[in-house]
Structure 1
Amino acid sequence: MTNNILFSQEITLFQQFNGQYDYLAFGNTLNSSENNIDRDFCDVLSESQADLLMPANTTIVAAYLYWAGSGNGDLDVALNNNPISADNIYLVEYNDPTYGLLTYFSCYADITDFITTTGNATYNFSGLDISETLTNNLGYCGNRTNFAGWCVYVVFEDSQLPLNQVNLFQGLEIINRNVQEKTILLDNVNVLDNDGAKIGFLAWEGDANLNYGESIIINNNIISSPPLNPANNAFNGTNSFTNSNTFYNGDIDVYGIQNNIAIGDTSVEIKLTTGDLDIFGNLQADLIIINNIITVLNSQLPDATVQINNILLECGNRQITIDYTIFNINSTDILAANVPIAIYANNELIGSTFTTNELVIGASENGQITVTVPESLPNNLNITMVVDDTGNGTGTVVELNELNNQAFQDIQLLDIPINPLEPLKNCDEGFDQAYFDLTLSLEQVETNGQTISFYESFEDVETDSNEIINPTYYQNSVEPQTIYLKVPAEPCYHIYYFDLVVENCPPHIPQVFTPNNDGYNDWFNIQGLYNIFEQHELKIYNRYGTLIFEGDNNTPWEGKANKGINNTGNILPTGTYFYQLHLNDPNYNILTGWVYLNR
């Protein structure tokens, strides 16, 4: 189910087809009769049928299903029991003087594959349900705008046709007694020959018996095709393709306009009108909802295509060089020089250039461009070159075929793989330094017997300089320190990196020391503490709980007191003393215990 809801969408170009193309339309109403005449019914049919009969020796290029009705819309329908969900929905409103604001909708879906597979057949449309809308809002039946219907447009290719430009414009616009005139300017057309030019409309809610001021004007000329579509009642429930006047409250009409356009025109102005005074001087107007407009115009155009010949990759470099060829084959006109070319990587624009030469029909030119792939993109890429693309999906040249401007190639950059390894850890031997065996990291690497090199920086790896000479006995210089290793591999070497982490390992606290100046065990030597836990605090208490010493990284305990009025500087007697060691490290709690001082 679509999430795209467009309110009162102006009629704009939806798709363009250039080549030996034409179109036909088929569909049916879900109204049992014209709602303006038969006022007894306030519902719609659950299904209706229509036949598709393609001309011989033609190929379906595109097919679109449209369905419309009163209310806010039904996004899910079926065609020959095949479920179809809307690609988009359009809504318009009419402020009725009696019933207030009323909403009408139209949906469409691309069903090219389904129509191509099914081919010529009777198509049954079902699943469009607006019964709740009609039940809950009496305005639709009250003002006789209760309607529903469907239509399929089929664009096809026929080798016997001239070169045509088929433009499909769509949206949803409304005219009524409140807005009696609508002008729609269709641009993006290219008239090179007006012979056989035609224009088609899909419209809803037209009534045959409401013919007050109702007209279609093309470039200031009223068009008609009587008796089916008279000049003063263009939207009257008819289907030009079947010559039917029972397409109740819907119109699938097509008109020849070769006398209404001129060679060289690049736009067509369409004016729709409704509303006029009846014999009693009262304003009467039909409510008409325009869903789409399609033009078929003879056209002579170039056709730019591109081919990627080769993409040159370099090891460890995100620059790529693309060799390509631009063609103007299967065309009917010269392709001018300076046609823009866009280069995308995974749909992200990474470069642009232009064609150099004017290319006559059947000609080509070679080119080369070097572009840089952004670091944000992965190594596995889809490279797309698009000719006639300014870099945002739009072009500068009208072509026979606007859908064949791209060339693709999947590549994998020869970027040097850089992979992290688990860190090597060792205990602090002082001032955040320790000795490491760097070769222990190779347990995490598949070396395939290759000679491995260790470096202190990424730049050293790239330049292959300043290799670490003795990796089995290496002292870190900072903490943490990143070490890089280089492993030869095809097509490029691999780089791994890991950190050297110096840890504060638990200190070892002795239970006795002898401060007798014999040069042996003369101080309370807590191994793994000094110059490792640099912020530590040591507190010594006597057996009575009196604090007699406070020390830090610069003040070890040598058996003397530095606290207390009577004890400061004195050598303490033999005995048991108690300590509190505050390591001031979040990984450790306060350590407490006893030590025996022996003279």
Structure 2
Amino acid sequence: MNSYSQEVTLYKQFGGHIDFTIIGNSMNLDENGAFSNCVINTSSSATLNLTDDETIKGAYLYWAGSGPGDFGVQLNNESITSQRNFNAVLETVDLPYFSAFYDVTAQIISERNTEYTLSELDLTDIISAYCPNGTNFAGWAILVIYENPNLPLNQINIYDGLEYVPNELSISLNNIDVIDTIDSKIGFIAWEGDAFLSVNESLYINGNLIGNPPLNPNDNAFNGTNTYTNSDELYNMDLDEYSIQNNIAIGDDTVNIQLTSGQDFVMINTIITKLNSQLPDATISIDNFQITSCNNRETQCYVTVYNNNSTKELPVNTSITIYGDENLLATTFTTSIIPINGSESIEIPLIIPESILQDFELKAVVNEINPVLEIRTDNNEYFLFINYPLPPVLEVQSPIENCNLGFEKGIFDFSDIYTEIITTVGSDVTITFYPTEEDYLNDTAPINPNFDYENISNPQTIYIKATNDLTGCYSYVTLPISVYNCPPFIPDGFSPNGDGINDEFNISGLYDIFTSFNLEIYNRWGTLVYDTNQNKEPWNGRLYNTKELVPTGVYYYILYPNDSNYKTVQGSVYVSR
């Protein structure tokens, strides 16, 4: 008999004052076979009964059947989509089979002792191909791990997959540490076992034939039975439990299971072991790796050492080693005894070698130096890929020159520059404008780029800082700004009639800008009638010596800007009434 299947391997471990039980039911109406009715249910029920002092720690639903798979079911009307799937193919008849998994811990804790109904497991459309060779089946089971303070300290290992039993199947269960053999047991969730097929069907633990007669005879281990309800009508599935305290020895670190079957097509889905064990189990996590600034090699690594799923305290001075791309970066030790299900958090200063920047793999290892004996040694490492990001790249900014509005002041609009930078570097970067280098260094007096800005010196250097919001990595670029004297606007006339409108010869862009200017006004005969500068009032159409209004007419001016960028300007202005 040939088949494709998935190896049964360790899924989860528990430690403490714990034990397990299994509930479930078949969808078959009777034992399948060539002459059975080719009919199957889509729902069935089973009841969970725990005592008041038994606290649920975990609950796992498995369901299985003929066909490529039905991975959406309901448990007590709660819709479930499988989280893990297993498949097998019986190649001699080219037929597939499946198993599915879902963690139902929260639901079982909430509903606790009640009748559980699995529904919507509908294989009615596909089983006709399976009935002739007697492999039409469907069923479900819930494995429940519970804690009871009156129990001894135990280690429970859950192994799952989907392995078929051809003539012989051997499964080696590792991650075992036998401290005491008392009350040790093993449980099975298996599918498609038939009571009437008992040809060379046997179960061996560490080479010893075991059984549980009369429910599970030594020559018919998988026979459609339920140890937990003492039922022999769990058609085409088995929820069986066996004592193995006489089949293991103190110090064993593996349990070897051997199954044989001369005819029956049996699939092993889940194996559960309970052993008395008193050992710690050290694990570690990297909680935070602090990048203080871009490419800063001095940093802090924050780790937590756990002693979860253990049955003994983790001793003080358990080692912690930190590696960067296999380069040893630091070694330290726990400072306290870590109790069962306890933890200790530790801050470790690091200096990252320049050779491994920018990107590297950070590895934390617990219990590596002078290791203490523990339940598992394959869960002592934690990996974290570190990406030292480059600072945001900012383009060099072109200088901005605006007109002098007076006393070397100007108005500047940074909004377009801000928008262009954000578009270039991305929305996860914060852009900040600062008026001076000191403000940039101290993160003070930021400029809001959405409002007009008046310079505080001329010229002035604006500092633009780009900060990566995720890492704090930053860069900056400078923006030179300055004001210059724009050409003044000289009107061609004014009317000093006292109406408050255009009463003065007001040259826009002259006062407070060309602060050294001189302006002279002459009549048509070349006589000076008025002169002014930064410190005198504009000409109001009166003679500077008599204060009398000049007659209507054309007058001539000479403007001396006294600015190296401008020449003397001569022109005329008309004075009207």
Q: 1:167 aligns with which of 157, 165, 170?
A: 157
Distance change in 2, residues 1:328/1:225 (3 Å): closer
Q: 2:104 aligned with 1:117, yes or no?
A: no
Does the 8 Å contact 1:16/1:167 carry over to 2?
Answer: yes
Q: 2:178 aligned with 1:211, yes or no?
A: no
Q: 2:446 aligned with 1:453, yes or no?
A: no
Q: 2:80 aligns with which of 66, 77, 84?
A: 84
Does the 8 Å contact 2:321/2:365 carry over to 1?
Answer: yes
Give, in whole Å, the separation in 2 of the partners of 1:307 and 1:366: 9
1:160 shift after superposition: 1.1
Q: 2:248 aligned with 1:290, yes or no?
A: no
Q: 1:27 aligns with which of 21, 24, 27?
A: 24
Distance change in 2, residues 1:187/1:256 (3 Å): same
Does the 8 Å contact 2:226/2:239 carry over to 1?
Answer: yes
* Amino acid in structure 2 at the alignment position of 1:123: Y
Give, in whole Å, the separation in 1 of the partners of 2:343 and 2:70: 50
Distance change in 2, residues 1:325/1:367 (3 Å): same
Distance change in 2, residues 1:337/1:49 (3 Å): same
Q: 2:148 aligned with 1:158, yes or no?
A: yes
1:231 matched residue in structure 2? 218
What does 1:378-457 align with in structure 2 at a 5 Å threshold? 388=366, 398-399=374-375, 420=394, 423-424=397-398, 451-453=435-437
In structure 2, the residue corresponding to 1:39 is in which secondary structure?
coil
> Could you give the per-residue CA deviations for residues 36-68 of structure 1, whole angstroms, max 9, x where no partner exists?
3x8241121021110011232121111111111
Give, in whole Å, the separation in 2 of the partners of 1:321 and 1:440: 43
Give, in whole Å, the separation in 2 of the partners of 1:186 and 1:426: 75
1:335 shift after superposition: 3.4
2:99 matched residue in structure 1? 106
> Could you give the per-residue CA deviations for residues 277-307 of structure 1, whole angstroms, max 9, x where no partner exists?
xxxxxxxx11111111100000001254779
2:238 matched residue in structure 1? 251
Distance change in 2, residues 1:369/1:214 (3 Å): same
2:349 matched residue in structure 1? 370
1:497 matched residue in structure 2? 477
Give, in whole Å, the separation in 2 of the partners of 1:212 and 1:441: 91
Does the 8 Å contact 1:215/1:274 carry over to 2?
Answer: yes
In structure 2, the residue corresponding to 1:169 is in which secondary structure?
strand
1:156 shift after superposition: 1.2
What does 1:191-340 align with in structure 2 at a 5 Å threshold? 191-275=178-262, 285-304=263-282, 314=292, 317=296, 319-322=298-301, 332-333=312-313, 335=315, 339-340=319-320
Give, in whole Å, the separation in 2 of the partners of 1:401 and 1:133: 45
Does the 8 Å contact 1:202/1:291 carry over to 2?
Answer: yes
In structure 2, the residue corresponding to 1:28 is in which secondary structure?
strand
The alignment's C-alpha RMSD in Å is: 4.9
In structure 2, the residue corresponding to 1:424 is in which secondary structure?
coil
Give, in whole Å, the separation in 2 of the partners of 1:447 and 1:130: 60
Distance change in 2, residues 1:150/1:302 (3 Å): same
Give, in whole Å, the separation in 2 of the partners of 1:238 and 1:209: 12
* Amino acid in structure 2 at the alignment position of 1:262: A
In structure 1, the residue corresponding to 2:212 is in which secondary structure?
coil
1:20 shift after superposition: 1.3
Distance change in 2, residues 1:30/1:71 (3 Å): same
* Amino acid in structure 1 at the alignment position of 2:106: D
Give, in whole Å, the separation in 1 of the partners of 2:267 and 2:322: 40
1:338 shift after superposition: 5.4
Does the 8 Å contact 2:20/2:144 carry over to 1?
Answer: yes
2:519 matched residue in structure 1? none
Does the 8 Å contact 1:311/1:321 carry over to 2?
Answer: yes
Give, in whole Å, the separation in 2 of the partners of 1:387 and 1:454: 44
1:471 shift after superposition: 8.9
Give, in whole Å, the separation in 2 of the partners of 1:219 and 1:192: 17
Distance change in 2, residues 1:212/1:327 (3 Å): closer
Give, in whole Å, the separation in 2 of the partners of 1:165 and 1:63: 16
Give, in whole Å, the separation in 2 of the partners of 1:92 and 1:310: 42
Does the 8 Å contact 1:419/1:497 carry over to 2?
Answer: no
Give, in whole Å, the separation in 1 of the partners of 2:316 and 2:261: 45
**How many residues of Structure 1 are paired with residues of Structure 2 in the alignment?**
427
Distance change in 2, residues 1:389/1:422 (3 Å): farther
1:339 shift after superposition: 3.8
* Amino acid in structure 1 at the alignment position of 2:436: I
Give, in whole Å, the separation in 2 of the partners of 1:401 and 1:63: 25
1:77 shift after superposition: 0.6
In structure 2, the residue corresponding to 1:49 is in which secondary structure?
strand
> Could you give the per-residue CA deviations for residues 406-459 of structure 1, whole angstroms, max 9, x where no partner exists?
9x9xxxx9x9986848943789xxxxxxxxx9995866689999651399xx9x
Does the 8 Å contact 2:201/2:261 carry over to 1?
Answer: yes
Does the 8 Å contact 1:453/1:487 carry over to 2?
Answer: no
Distance change in 2, residues 1:352/1:449 (3 Å): closer
> Could you give the per-residue CA deviations for residues 495-527 of structure 1, whole angstroms, max 9, x where no partner exists?
532689xxxxxxxxxxxxxxxxxxxxxxxxxxx
In structure 2, the residue corresponding to 1:131 is in which secondary structure?
coil
Give, in whole Å, the separation in 1 of the partners of 2:464 and 2:433: 14
Does the 8 Å contact 1:19/1:400 carry over to 2?
Answer: no
In structure 2, the residue corresponding to 1:72 is in which secondary structure?
coil
TM-score normalised by the chain length of structure 2: 0.62
Does the 8 Å contact 2:175/2:375 carry over to 1?
Answer: no
1:53 matched residue in structure 2? 49
Does the 8 Å contact 2:15/2:154 carry over to 1?
Answer: yes
Give, in whole Å, the separation in 2 of the partners of 1:86 and 1:360: 36
1:95 matched residue in structure 2? 91
2:67 matched residue in structure 1? 71
In structure 2, the residue corresponding to 1:10 is in which secondary structure?
strand
Does the 8 Å contact 1:239/1:247 carry over to 2?
Answer: yes
Distance change in 2, residues 1:440/1:496 (3 Å): farther
Does the 8 Å contact 1:17/1:401 carry over to 2?
Answer: no
Give, in whole Å, the separation in 2 of the partners of 1:61 and 1:404: 23
Give, in whole Å, the separation in 2 of the partners of 1:91 and 1:305: 32
1:509 matched residue in structure 2? none
> Could you give the per-residue CA deviations for residues 236-259 of structure 1, whole angstroms, max 9, x where no partner exists?
100001111110000000000000
1:400 shift after superposition: 9.5
1:18 shift after superposition: 1.3
Structure 2: runs of 5+ lacking an equivalent: 402-408, 419-429, 443-455, 481-577
Give, in whole Å, the separation in 2 of the partners of 1:186 and 1:151: 21
1:326 shift after superposition: 5.6
Give, in whole Å, the separation in 2 of the partners of 1:310 and 1:34: 56
In structure 1, the residue corresponding to 2:182 is in which secondary structure?
strand
TM-score normalised by the chain length of structure 1: 0.60
Does the 8 Å contact 1:49/1:123 carry over to 2?
Answer: yes
In structure 1, the residue corresponding to 2:214 is in which secondary structure?
coil
